[in-house]
Structure 1
Amino acid sequence: MARSTARPVVTLRSTAGTGVTYVTRKNRQNDADRLVLRKYDPVVGKHVAFREER
């Protein structure tokens, strides 16, 4: 079975500039614009904003 295009895989990159990334899925119907989540950045050692890159 093919995967739906409504929940694509997106890459979240740290806004702290460390190069750390997370991979997740998002619902395009509910979140049409870029996703921003606060997640842990192990290089900085604290939680920072991670922004979706395309």
Structure 2
Amino acid sequence: MARSETRPVVTLRSTAGTGQTYVTRKSRRNNPDRLVLRKYDPAAGQHVLFREER
């Protein structure tokens, strides 16, 4: 079976400039724009914004 194209794997990169990344899936139908989540960055030691990369 093929993977679903409606829920692609996306990479989230820290906006703090530490190079920290998270990998997740998102729904293209519900979130067509780039995903932005506030998650913990262990290199920065705090919660920062993570933006979707293409």
Same fold per superposition (TM over 0.5): yes
What CA distance in whole angstroms lies between the structure 2 residues aligned with 1:44 and 1:27? 29
Gaps of 5+ in 2: none
Q: SS at the partner of 2:40?
A: strand
With normalisation by structure 1, the TM-score equals: 0.99
Gaps of 5+ in 1: none
What is the percentage of aligned positions where both structures have the same residue? 80
Q: Which residue of 2 aligns with 1:8?
A: 8
Residue 41 (1) aligns with residue 44 (2): no
With normalisation by structure 2, the TM-score equals: 0.99
Across the two proteins, how many residue pairs are aligned to each other?
54
